Amino acid sequence: MASVELQGLTKRFGALAVVDDVSLRVDHGLLMCLLGPSGCGKTTTLRLVAGFIEPSAGKIRVGERTVSTPGRTLPPEQRNMSMIFQSYALWPHMTVAENIVYGLRLRKVDRETIANKLAAILATTRLAALIDRYPGELSGGQQQRVALARAMIVEPETLLLDEPLSNLDANLREEMRFEVRRLHDQYRYTSIYVTHDQAEAMTTADLIAVMNAGKIEQVGTPEDVYDRPQSEFVARFIGSSNILKGRNLDDFRIEFAGIPLRCVGIKLAPGAATSVSIRQHDIRFIAAPAETAENVLSGKILRQVFLGGSRDYMVELSNGTQLRVVAPAGENIAPGTSVWLHLPAERCRALAR
């Protein structure tokens, strides 16, 4: 296995930079998720790593080898990579066993080695009972496991996954997230996983690179990007934060809706404008506050939705700003009711961008 490094990677189609000066390193044995909305450039980045397309600028290194530069791109078959597509791309006329060992046969591996590797991968992916079935006789989850087994049996340096769970129903997709992570923990291939699903990235990844408009907005562990977003885009995309905009009063307070709001994160420049994020579930309804209470706002309930284990509220503040608040299901407050909200200072994060 080897690390994968992108250095100033750019891909243009005409005047449009679909991937725009991306620099990123995936260390040996880690699983990196490229996470972002449709059209952000994540799949194009993966195709550049695979060698299917040539970069307009920058380079890609795998271990000590440079595999892509403008004008010189090593073909996919010479990169020792395996790629899993959204469609699984299984041969319909081949059995499960024949699909899995197809790559080994192309490499002219001897029969005994093929048999040993097949037995090992079938045990790992729990497919031994299905070896004589054809893809059309399998469920979506079973087909996905066959695609994973076929990709891993050739022992690639790098495993690439392009939204591999997008064709599965919600319950099966949740189950397969844990399966992908289990298999990664067992084999520890250097892996790059493309998805637009936040829960999928949080479940499977060691590191998440959040992409937007062809650029990397933030790279970090799932905890980092969720608890410490650095931009409005990341705060909204990961966990759907409320964004509060105000003017800085001092190093750690902004003026918002007529009150000083204390926050954490970056040190503020007095007088400048700053955006602050806070998650819906971090805001609390409270009784009438004491005069010295900090980070307390008044508002009115516009609507509420019962979601089983919680209630989703929209609250309008005195300055017209609307905040979403997720509260326990037992807190049943009627629309039109005036309320007080507490925004804990340690959960109000000033954003760098």
- Residue with the two structure tokens 């005047």: 15
Residues shown for the chain: 353
**168 and 253 assigned to the same domain:** no
Nearest-angstrom CA–CA distance, 40 and 34: 10
**184 and 79 assigned to the same domain:** yes
CA dist 194 to 36, 159, 164, 239, Å? 9, 11, 8, 18
Where residue 353 falls among pLDDT bands split at 50, 70, 90?
low
Give the rounded percent of residues in the chain with a pLDDT score beyond 90.
Answer: 74
Where residue 293 falls among pLDDT bands split at 50, 70, 90?
confident
Query: What's the DSSP call for residue 345?
Result: G
pLDDT in tens, 11-51: 999 999 999 999 999 999 999 999 999 999 999 999 999 99
**192 and 284 assigned to the same domain:** no
Average pLDDT, the chain: 92
* Beta-sheet pairing, 215-220 with 207-212: antiparallel
- Residue with the two structure tokens 């250095």: 7
- Which residue from 214, 192, 143 is spatially nearest to 30, judged by alpha carbons? 192
pLDDT in tens, 56-95: 999 999 999 999 999 999 999 899 999 988 777 889 999 9
Give the rounded percent of residues in the chain with a pLDDT score beyond 70.
Answer: 99
Domain that holds residue 344: 240-350
**52 and 71 assigned to the same domain:** yes
Indicate which CATH number applies to the domain containing 86. 3.40.50.300
Q: What is the DSSP string of 94-108?
A: S-HHHHHTHHHHHTT
- Non-local (6+) Cβ contacts of 328 within 8 A are 310, 311
**How many helices and strands (H and E) does the chain possess?**
9, 22
**110 and 254 assigned to the same domain:** no
**66 and 131 assigned to the same domain:** yes
| Region of poorest pLDDT, from 40-44, 106-110, 117-121, 166-170 | 166-170
What is the arithmetic mean of pLDDT over 245-254?
94
| Tokens describing residue 329 | 């299901």
> What is the model's pTM?
0.86
For residue 21, being part of any structural domain is answered with yes
Where residue 1 falls among pLDDT bands split at 50, 70, 90?
low
Q: How many domains are contained in the chain?
A: 2
What is the arithmetic mean of pLDDT over 189-218?
95
